[in-house]
Amino acid sequence: MNRGWAIGIVVFLAGCGPHYTIPNYDTNEIEKVISSGRSPQGCIENLKEDAKNLNVEVRLTDVQQQPSSGPISWIYTNTYMCTGKVVAKK
């Protein structure tokens, strides 16, 4: 039972922010990669890691701070979202 609570707390604190791709519908290849993080630097690091996992190279095009709502939402949400344009495939 204690292990279940520990796993639940870790998932709760880790958050589930957006990590996704936007395809180019003409070529059916990845055009943009979107990642999130708790800080601008964390967001950029997550973007680089996501690009590495997708075997592409990206150029950072945008970093935005996303508003969080609710009294404790800052604990479990990633408040920065980074967009990277794919510049090369590995």
pLDDT digits (tens, 9 = 90+) for 28-53: 899 999 999 889 999 999 999 999 99
Predicted pLDDT at 3: 53
50 token code pair: 């996501």
Q: Reading across the β-sheet that carries 56-65, which strands appear in turn?
A: 20-24, 29-37, 80-89, 56-65
Task: Give me the amino acid identity at 12.
Answer: F
What's the pTM value of the predicted model, to 2 decimals? 0.73
Closest CA to 21 of 43, 51, 42, 66: 51
Q: Are strands 29-37 and 80-89 parallel, antiparallel or unpaired?
A: antiparallel
Calculate the CA 60 to chain-centre distance: 13
